[in-house]
Amino acid sequence: MLRITKNMGKMSSMKKGEFIIDSFLIIPGITQYKNIYTSGNYLFFDQGDYKQSISIEFINEGELDRFFTMLMREIKLNQLINVETKNTK
C-alpha cells in the first residue's frame, strides 16, 4: 500500500475532481487507474471519470520527475516485500 501525501514533494495542489485533498492511497491489486500520465508539471491518475480522477500539480517539471522516480522506487520496494512475504508462508 502506498500513501501519497501533499508533503512528499514540492506540490502546488492535489485534487480529486474539484476537491482539494491532502492524501490518497494506492493499494496494489485493488486500486485501478485507466491511465497514469503527465502533462507539463501535472501528474494524473485517471479513472475515466473526471470526478474520480486525481490530479497533482508540481511547482515545476523537475519536481514531477523526482516524485515519479521516488514513486517507482516505492512500488518496486512494495513488490519485493510482497514477494518475500509470499515465499516465507
Residue 54 is predicted with a pLDDT of 92
**pLDDT tens for the chain, residues 1 to 89:** 788 888 887 899 999 989 999 998 888 778 888 888 899 999 998 988 777 899 999 999 999 999 888 888 887 877 777 665 555 55
CB 24 within 8 A of CB 54: yes
List the grid coordinates of 88. 516465507
In whole angstroms, what is the distance from residue 7 CA to residue 22 CA? 8
In whole angstroms, what is the distance from residue 80 CA to residue 69 CA? 17
In whole angstroms, what is the distance from residue 63 CA to residue 21 CA? 19
In whole angstroms, what is the distance from residue 52 CA to residue 34 CA? 11
Residue 84 is predicted with a pLDDT of 56
Residue with cell 494506492: 26
